[in-house]
Amino acid sequence: MSEQAKTVRIGLAGLGTVGGGVFQNLIQNKELLHGRLGITLDVTAIAVRNPDRDRGFPVDRQLFVNDWKDLVADPEIDIIIELIGGTTEAKDLVLAALRSGKSVVTGNKALLAEHGAEIFKVVEETGQAIHYEAAVAGGIPIIKTLLESLVGNHIVSAYGIINGTCNYILTRMATADLSYGEALKEAMDKGYAEADPTLDINGMDAAHKAVIIASLAYGSWLPSDSMHVEGIEAVELIDMQFASKLGYSIKLLSVIKGHDDGSIEVRTQPSLIPLDHILASVHGVFNAIAVHGDIVGETLFYGSGAGQNPTSSSVISDLADAAMAIAGSKPRSSFVPHGIYGKPVAIEDTTSRYYLRLEAEARPGVLAQIAGLLADHQIGIISVLQPDEGQGQDPQTAQLILTLHEARYGDAVAARDAIAQLSCILDKPALFRIETLDPQ
């Protein structure tokens, strides 16, 4: 390798929280990276919207350009790091960079979940590579694991707690008896939730990550509108308390499974998981993903799922891979379609057990009406629980917690909706899945 080839030139688009972390850590660990890679990683241009803003760290203003198109047009730049976010301008940047013969590193989960099929078609056409470890679970190297370490395995299933904001909120509800609103406010005050936390709490952030994991695991890029998503807004403190009594913890869980008929199940929803499963002990802002391969068995990946340094660590890992591929010391790595699986499973046809919370009039015959409607939908009751008397409840109302036998989700939802129409039901019922986390 020539001395010139030992320097790889980088264009950085975006110098916000993650971009700033990447820039600073590349400088801080420049010698370490050179020693390990034999390559100098040199940021030669940075596209920013406001070059006059104080970044809180030193940066040579001569590196700034006003438009990401300047990065694409620069023949000296080998790799572009996309950290501007969004799915419109970021998509234009990524496609233009690939078509100009440059490798791309991105942490943009929404972009990949919504436009992955188009992007990887261009990757195939151009022979370039896109690296995206930072798009899923921050500092946890799950993308590289699926692409490389588990390449010889059929992925049987993956269960993920992959949104730190939701996990923090649910953890605080469970451990500090906070209401959902109180826990959300605390998360925002501590900086664990955005000023507008919608994409976190409604499940979309986790769902985008689940689509990426599923597509890598099963070799077929799934349309984002095929995923089932529920957020944590309906989870109440009483649910956390009763889940614990039943031997469960409530987590926002992403479920990814391949079925024998070649279909793929991808869903994200608050779920009860057994307290004796290791995922139940994932607390606070941490993420974890349990992956079951047909050869390796069950594996667990745990760590910080967000934040400046964990995410920049993944970006720099991708950058190192891209640089080594350019230098010829490592093959290009990217999504490879392998066509074994394809069609998404309709959410109505997925099955599990269920937790059903009801607020009803406290009078004879109510439970019989509820049981009758469940039976009409071929769903049996495992147990019925009620809060202890003397806890300040209205004597005219009753909280009922039912656990239900395994059933189709479509039948469980239909039964819930039918029960909600009963005159004795006083509030909207809450229905959550109970997951066994069986790798099969």
3-state DSSP: the chain helix, strand, coil percent, rounded to 5? 40, 25, 35
Inter-CA distances, 134 with 19, 138, 187, 396, Å = 12, 5, 22, 52
Encoded tokens for 174: 């469970």
Q: How far apart are CA 390 and CA 439, in angstroms?
A: 42
The residue type of 112 is L
The phi, psi pair for 101, rounded to 5°, reads 90, 20
Q: How far apart are CA 41 and CA 64, in angstroms?
A: 17
**pLDDT in single tens digits along all 440 residues of the chain:** 344 458 999 999 999 888 999 999 999 999 999 998 889 999 999 999 888 888 889 999 999 998 999 999 999 999 999 999 888 999 999 999 999 999 999 989 999 999 988 998 999 999 999 999 888 887 888 988 888 888 899 899 999 999 999 999 999 999 999 999 999 999 999 888 888 899 899 999 999 999 999 988 888 777 777 789 999 999 999 999 999 999 999 999 999 998 888 889 999 999 999 999 999 999 999 999 999 999 999 999 998 877 788 888 889 998 998 998 888 766 555 555 555 556 888 999 999 999 999 999 988 999 999 999 999 999 999 999 987 765 556 678 889 999 999 999 999 999 999 999 999 999 999 999 999 987 66
Encoded tokens for 130: 């896109």
| CATH label, 4-141+308-327, candidates 3.30.590.10, 3.40.50.920, 3.90.79.10, 3.40.50.720 | 3.40.50.720
CB neighbour class for 253 (10 Å; exposed up to 12, middle 13-18, buried from 19): buried
Burial 121-146 (b: 16+ CB within 10 A, else e): ebbeeeebbbbbbbbbbbbbbbbbbb
**How high is the pLDDT of residue 3?**
47
**How high is the pLDDT of residue 342?**
67
Only one residue has tokens 């990683």, namely 41
| CATH label, 146-304, candidates 3.40.50.300, 3.90.1150.180, 3.40.50.11540, 3.30.360.10 | 3.30.360.10
Q: How far apart are CA 414 and CA 323, in angstroms?
A: 53
Q: How far apart are CA 96 and CA 94, in angstroms?
A: 6
Domain-by-domain residue ranges, the chain? 4-141+308-327, 146-304, 348-434
Instruction: Please check whether the domain covering 348-434 is classified as CATH 3.40.50.1400.
Output: no
C-alpha gyration radius of the chain: 24
The phi, psi pair for 337, rounded to 5°, reads -65, 140
User: Which tens digit of pLDDT belongs to each residue from 323-345?
Assistant: 988 887 665 555 555 555 568 88
User: Which tens digit of pLDDT belongs to each residue from 108-126?
Assistant: 999 999 998 899 899 999 9
Q: What's the N-to-C CA distance of the chain in angstroms? A: 48
Half-sphere exposure of 141 (CA within 13 A, CB side): 12
CB neighbour class for 164 (10 Å; exposed up to 12, middle 13-18, buried from 19): buried
Catalytic annotation, pick one of 102, 109, 209, 251 = 209
Q: How far apart are CA 249 and CA 262, in angstroms?
A: 31
**How high is the pLDDT of residue 159?**
97
Known active-site residue 209:
yes
